[in-house]
């Protein structure tokens, strides 16, 4: 396997990981920011008020996007498995 091929495979896998993290963490960050603004405006300093909505949004996001994320992961490994003969033949 050439270094270019290895870097291409790594880049595709890394891109998929970044997309997965953004899909899961992005909504949680938005809810956390919204709750923080609410807490600053009302001067309520309750730890569970910021934790619980983020937890619920993260779990809902995983439930809703889980099948799509799993399919993307399966597609990556299926593509890699199909490329094995080509990668071995290059050596």
d(CA 4, CA 20): 24
pLDDT tens digits for 10-60?
Answer: 999 999 999 999 999 999 999 999 998 998 898 888 877 888 899 999 999
Is pLDDT at 91 greater than 70 in this prediction? no
Note whether residue 66 is domain-resident. yes
pLDDT, position 67: 95
Is pLDDT at 66 greater than 90 in this prediction? yes
The parent domain of residue 81 ranges over 9-89
Note whether residue 85 is domain-resident. yes
Note whether residue 74 is domain-resident. yes
Note whether residue 2 is domain-resident. no
Note whether residue 4 is domain-resident. no
State how many domains the chain has: 1
Which tokens go with 32? Answer: 């956390």
Note whether residue 34 is domain-resident. yes
pLDDT tens digits for 73-85?
Answer: 999 999 989 888 8
**Residue 90 pLDDT grade (very low, low, confident, very high; cuts 50, 70, 90):** low
Note whether residue 3 is domain-resident. no
Which tokens go with 69? Answer: 């994320």
Q: What is the pTM of this model?
A: 0.76
């Amino acid at each position: 396997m050439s270094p270019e091929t290895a870097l291409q495979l790594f880049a595709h896998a890394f891109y998929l990981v970044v997309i997965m993290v953004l899909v899961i963490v992005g909504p949680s960050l938005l809810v956390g920011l919204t709750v923080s603004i609410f807490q600053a405006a009302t001067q309520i300093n309750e730890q569970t008020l910021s934790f619980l909505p983020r937890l619920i949004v993260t779990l809902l996001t995983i439930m809703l996007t889980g099948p799509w994320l799993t399919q993307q992961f399966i597609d990556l490994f299926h593509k890699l498995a199909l490329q094995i003969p080509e990668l071995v033949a290059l050596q």
